[in-house]
Amino acid sequence: MIDPQSPTALRCAMYLRSATGDRASLQEWEQACRAAASRHNPAWQIGDDLVFADPNASGIGHDRPGLATLLNQAKAKAFDMVIVATPDSFSRNMAESLQAIDLLAHHGVGVHIASTALDSRIPSFRDLFLYGRCYEEKLLRTHGENVSRGQLGALLRGGSVGGRCYG
């Protein structure tokens, strides 16, 4: 069995994505990744030249230069591990996230998710990743339904469902 806690030094890259393009949120994600890496395994070395980012990357990511460069560098064996902040860092689309993770694995590169400490080198990674993403999608769907139901109730009671009220 693979031990993700082993003191083996790994060359690490980071992938950061922000839907809003907010520089502060990208910096927060980077700090979270660096903190998780040092807390998880101090032997991991994160190269400043191996920080890949896609600001303003919302939706399905067919046009993400940071991700494309990351995948090309993985193919060239520039690093051993990619650290991301959250499970949806590659994409909010689960299939697209898995495609990126599988491509990285094909090139011998692991993935570490800072927020959950989930490491692709453990045998149960895929199951845990899928379970977590399915749970997140269900929460989002349920939340959307609850908001819509609340707005409909407010409208039926003669209230406002958003925007500014006049008068």
> DSSP string spanning 69-90?
HHHHHHHTT--SEEEESSTTSS
Judge if pTM exceeds 0.95: no
Please give the residue that has the higher pLDDT: either 106 or 89.
106
Q: Whole-angstrom Cα distance, residue 96 to residue 93?
A: 5
Q: 104 is written with which tokens?
A: 């990285």
How many CB atoms lie under 10 A from the CB of residue 4? Answer: 18
pLDDT tens per residue across span 111-133: 999 988 889 998 998 888 888 77
Class of domain 10-134: alpha beta
pLDDT tens per residue across span 129-143: 888 777 777 777 787
pLDDT tens per residue across span 71-90: 999 999 999 999 999 888 88
Q: What are the residue ranges spanned by the domains of the chain?
A: 10-134
Evaluate whether 116 touches 106 at the Cβ level (below 8 Å): no
